[in-house]
Structure 1
Amino acid sequence: MTKHILDHGRSKRESAVAKAVAALEKDQPKPATLALQRRRRSRDESQRSAQFLRLARARVE
């Protein structure tokens, strides 16, 4: 005996909605990313070239 059409659950429809919501949430930036983008830089810009030189010297050695 087969099930009546009303006996079937809505699992397929609910899972499709859940997938759509998950996809939309995935496209949104994370709160931590937004916080990092809005945070002021803590380094002094005049020290930037000195830091690059320090890293380059460490890579060579």
Structure 2
Amino acid sequence: MNKNLVTILLLTLITISVWVAFQIFKVATSSTIPQPTQEQLQELDPELDRGVIEDLKKSL
């Protein structure tokens, strides 16, 4: 009876270990950021258009 219990526990431990390893691999290799958000995260041009700022000053 004890040998059967040890075998079942060992197989359960192996199954859980493989499951956790696959889940870690899946999380590490997949991106959680949707495609539209990735496009919105592109860097902005740090140079300001002075003409637009002058137009805003004139309109105020």
TM-score range, shorter chain: 0.3 to 0.5
- TM-score, normalization by structure 2: 0.47
